[in-house]
A and B are shown apart, each in its own frame.
Chain A
């Protein structure tokens, strides 16, 4: 524990704190560019530095976040924090602690030059493609990267120091025909833990050569203008990989977060390990170890190693996502899912990369199994309140006798997650994982990944007029 001075030479010793504590220091640099229409309306760089100290005393959490790291962490402030514990009613409660471990990773990047020109040119090129059709009235084209160094130190002897680089583009075309306005877009997001010899310019190549996909954005945004709104009702549907990801994350993933579960005995029963909610082919996992996906990391914000967790295996509940607190409360193993969006927030139970595992059916086989219904694509977003979920797609096609028909719009899928899981009748073989952002409580945006193959679901409620 003496090594804190090596990890963070500016930090004072906290060994006098008798209770569990952890301290995070974050330094980050963010670059953002945004075109709206022809204009580059946002160009900015942000430099952040701050810390978050947390103490677990008498079953309650006491925490403080601050910017002036050197000045704020002192014995006097720690005592003030400890005094807050007297206000809160004490309660039973332990944490699952880790074995001491030190993992400090420095890095030296190959490229020294500013890549601003490169980022600007790439985004401008894509934005110009978006603007290439006369019916596209404006765009929303965003480039964003964030290099964040995470330093972690805790009472149970974890000393972690590593740097992760997030990079993404988000491209939306807005089409208009008279009073009819539509939009369509997509995002690509990746991340990389930095080490010696990494080249940012090489990483950014992940964002290159997307011209074809961007032309497709334009086509869909324009096609949507003549698409008819869906008629609300009950449909059998195939959802595409993007929507499958949103389903895995929004509808089911949030329900697997143990902080929802542990305070409620009845919810514990609904989410008990072994409960069967789906067909045997259905397996949903959360995996922060996937290489370079947007929701990947080495350690969570409690210093726990990232690891793969089965949420549903062969149709049965197989696991929950945990922090040090929820793992202790439920007597289950740590999963490394305590994450925070920045040093201003405490770590809470969150997902990483959440996806439905692929099986053997081709898209064509799923179409013929569907026979009549909808093929629903893309995701505007999703929201859940435990068992209820709602997610809006970007566009959809009618399917008649196994054949794709005309495009329709405004398709929102909703329902009860347990019923919907039971209604999954076919799982495709074409897994894709996408980078996105998740919000929970007041913490948005947290980088995550989600995905799946094409999925056939029966009896889905589709909102419409």
Chain B
């Protein structure tokens, strides 16, 4: 009704507009220090109105539906100051069919989710009684509807189920923190025994400290740090940075920037990805866009306005919630795995190196230029094909655009992080600074 009411309020104003409506609810359980802590329910709803009046953009949003008239007036008033644009809002037909709701996940009961959490904690505690577990399970339903003055009016629903936990181990010589995450939006079944065994194996090795000297090493980035690594690329591949001449990729389209075996896709229609949808915040079809193809930088990501300014086409990467104006953002990032390279095999082939599970400092460096500067928060030393123990107080710094060419291997086991789908990657000759 909100959209209909707004359409009514806008009908004689002779302006271009779009209305982004969302509502949803979320249920979550939190565990702290091995114990249940809370059950949270969240209702969420709101509407955002973008208007283009005399070629200028204004925007306003509200979660208070008694204020729809104020919403319209405000958006129109603000448009007086807004950016001048020359766009036609789309009316796209034949939107892609996307998988955003799985029956298994939508039917799962709260009791089942709660008991999964209890079981996992008890499995971990059996083996590692000293570790303290915090855990969170969140199941969220979203409904999104977008309508514009051209006549486009479409909606979609989505159910997301995330299962994440971390363990804290305090020993005499310091603190160890580990975490893991599973996107269960497609299938809520999780092999808790295997999950707990993998986790306990890491805890076990983390208790053994080994020394490391400053120097150059082969580094395995596990999927979470690898996602941080590639996120820097997606800052540079954002079409907005191209428009502003603020990315090292400005003149790199069609050029080799990484080894030929590297393929990275921004996939807005990946089944059960967190950012999967039939259309983006402008109403443009979501799609799969090759960003690196055979090591060649192939595409920037665009929304409607930026694409128009640069005389390009939108790639369906306009991201939006009801509270914000649309902006360019990557959707689900997929790094193509290699064939038959499980982690065990990768480790076995390394004579001397480091495997990194978590790090601190993501996003703090000059990411526009591609810089990264990380503290290895959980990392292990590899010697002669075996993990021998945990390293501490180490830093790893460099520039993504240089380090893309240091990728020598990509694993074959994809980790589903909800918005990143990627295997471990191996980098050669990484400078590691150690306090030892």
B41 touches which of A64, A85, A88, A409 (Cβ 8 Å): A64
B230-257 at interface with A (beta carbon < 8 Å): 240, 244-248
Per-residue interface assignment for chain B, residues 201 to 245, with 1 indicating a CB less than 8 Å from any chain A CB and 0 otherwise: 000000000000010000000000000000000000000100011
Q: How far is the CA of A46 from the CA of B70 in the complex (A)?
A: 11
Q: Is there a chain B Cβ closer than 8 Å to A41's Cβ? A: yes
User: B177 near A64 (CB under 8 angstroms)?
Assistant: no
User: B44 near A44 (CB under 8 angstroms)?
Assistant: no
Interface size class of B (residues with CB under 8 A): 35 or more
Q: Which of B98-106, B144-152, B390-398, B413-421 contacts A (4 or more CB under 8 A)?
A: B390-398
A180 touching B244 in the complex, CB below 8 Å, given contacts A47-B64, A410-B397: no
User: B81 near A463 (CB under 8 angstroms)?
Assistant: no
Q: Is there a chain A Cβ closer than 8 Å to B33's Cβ? A: yes
User: B38 near A63 (CB under 8 angstroms)?
Assistant: yes
User: A392 near B64 (CB under 8 angstroms)?
Assistant: no
Q: Is there a chain A Cβ closer than 8 Å to B314's Cβ? A: no
Q: Is there a chain A Cβ closer than 8 Å to B90's Cβ? A: no
User: B323 near A232 (CB under 8 angstroms)?
Assistant: no
Q: Is there a chain B Cβ closer than 8 Å to A50's Cβ? A: yes
Q: Is there a chain B Cβ closer than 8 Å to A65's Cβ? A: yes
Residue of B nearest to A124 (CB): B81
Measured between beta carbons, the chain B residues less than 8 angstroms from A64 are 40-43
User: B37 near A60 (CB under 8 angstroms)?
Assistant: yes
Q: Is there a chain A Cβ closer than 8 Å to B346's Cβ? A: no
Measured between beta carbons, the chain A residues less than 8 angstroms from B33 are 262-264
Measured between beta carbons, the chain B residues less than 8 angstroms from A390 are 360-361, 364, 373-375
Q: Is there a chain A Cβ closer than 8 Å to B36's Cβ? A: yes
Q: Is there a chain A Cβ closer than 8 Å to B363's Cβ? A: yes
Per-residue interface assignment for chain A, residues 58 to 96, with 1 indicating a CB less than 8 Å from any chain B CB and 0 otherwise: 001111111110001000000001001101110100000
Q: Is the interface of A mostly helix, strand, loop or mixed?
A: strand
A410 touches which of B40, B42, B60, B371 (Cβ 8 Å): B371
Q: How far is the CA of A381 from the CA of B372 in the complex (A)?
A: 13
**Taking the nearest CB of chain B, how far is it from the CB of A389, in angstroms?**
7
User: B40 near A461 (CB under 8 angstroms)?
Assistant: no
Per-residue interface assignment for chain B, residues 102 to 118, with 1 indicating a CB less than 8 Å from any chain A CB and 0 otherwise: 00000000110010001
Measured between beta carbons, the chain B residues less than 8 angstroms from A461 are 393, 395, 433, 435
User: A36 near B63 (CB under 8 angstroms)?
Assistant: no
Interface size class of A (residues with CB under 8 A): 35 or more
Measured between beta carbons, the chain A residues less than 8 angstroms from B83 are 39-41, 43
Measured between beta carbons, the chain B residues less than 8 angstroms from A42 are 59, 325
**Taking the nearest CB of chain A, how far is it from the CB of B431, in angstroms?**
5
**Taking the nearest CB of chain A, how far is it from the CB of B434, in angstroms?**
9
A174 touching B364 in the complex, CB below 8 Å, given contacts A67-B44, A386-B177: no
**Taking the nearest CB of chain B, how far is it from the CB of A212, in angstroms?**
25
Q: Which of B71-79, B292-300, B404-412 contacts A (4 or more CB under 8 A)?
A: B71-79
Q: Is there a chain B Cβ closer than 8 Å to A465's Cβ? A: yes
Q: How far is the CA of A344 from the CA of B44 in the complex (A)?
A: 8
Number of A-B residue pairs, CB cutoff 8 Å, is 241
Per-residue interface assignment for chain A, residues 378 to 421, with 1 indicating a CB less than 8 Å from any chain B CB and 0 otherwise: 00111111111111100000000000000001101011100000
**Taking the nearest CB of chain B, how far is it from the CB of A376, in angstroms?**
13
**Taking the nearest CB of chain B, how far is it from the CB of A139, in angstroms?**
9
Measured between beta carbons, the chain A residues less than 8 angstroms from B38 are 60-63, 88, 346
User: B323 near A87 (CB under 8 angstroms)?
Assistant: no
Measured between beta carbons, the chain A residues less than 8 angstroms from B377 are 385, 388
A181 touching B369 in the complex, CB below 8 Å, given contacts A138-B246, A266-B170, A416-B174: yes
A84 touches which of B35, B39, B82, B246 (Cβ 8 Å): B39
Measured between beta carbons, the chain A residues less than 8 angstroms from B67 are 47
Q: Is there a chain B Cβ closer than 8 Å to A49's Cβ? A: yes
Residue of A nearest to B67 (CB): A47
Measured between beta carbons, the chain A residues less than 8 angstroms from B1 are none
User: B64 near A44 (CB under 8 angstroms)?
Assistant: no
Q: Is there a chain B Cβ closer than 8 Å to A157's Cβ? A: no
User: B363 near A81 (CB under 8 angstroms)?
Assistant: no
Measured between beta carbons, the chain A residues less than 8 angstroms from B74 are 45
Measured between beta carbons, the chain B residues less than 8 angstroms from A462 are 395, 433
Q: Is there a chain A Cβ closer than 8 Å to B132's Cβ? A: yes
Measured between beta carbons, the chain B residues less than 8 angstroms from A60 are 36-39
B58 touches which of A43, A270, A415 (Cβ 8 Å): A43
**Taking the nearest CB of chain B, how far is it from the CB of A114, in angstroms?**
8
User: A382 near B364 (CB under 8 angstroms)?
Assistant: yes
Measured between beta carbons, the chain A residues less than 8 angstroms from B435 are 234, 415, 461
A385 touching B177 in the complex, CB below 8 Å, given contacts A43-B78, A183-B368, A415-B393: yes
Q: How far is the CA of A264 from the CA of B33 in the complex (A)?
A: 7
Q: Is there a chain A Cβ closer than 8 Å to B61's Cβ? A: yes
Q: Is there a chain B Cβ closer than 8 Å to A179's Cβ? A: yes
18 contacts between A and B (CB under 8 A): A42-B59, A44-B59, A46-B323, A48-B64, A49-B62, A65-B44, A89-B118, A116-B77, A234-B435, A259-B32, A264-B132, A266-B170, A384-B360, A385-B377, A390-B361, A390-B373, A390-B374, A412-B364
> Could you list which residues of chain A lie within 8 angstroms of chain B, going by C-beta atoms?
27, 33, 36-37, 39-50, 60-68, 72, 81, 84-85, 87-89, 91, 114, 116, 120, 137-138, 174, 176, 179-183, 232-234, 259, 262-264, 266-267, 270, 344, 346, 380-392, 409-410, 412, 414-416, 461-465
Given A27-B64, A67-B44, 15 additional A-B pairs, CB 8 A: A63-B40, A87-B110, A91-B36, A116-B78, A182-B369, A232-B397, A266-B171, A346-B38, A386-B175, A387-B174, A390-B373, A391-B361, A414-B393, A416-B393, A462-B433
> Could you list which residues of chain B lie within 8 angstroms of chain A, going by C-beta atoms?
29, 32-33, 35-46, 57-64, 67, 70-71, 74, 77-79, 81-83, 110-111, 114, 118, 132, 168, 170-171, 174-175, 177, 214, 240, 244-248, 323-325, 358, 360-366, 368-369, 371, 373-375, 377, 393, 395-398, 431, 433, 435
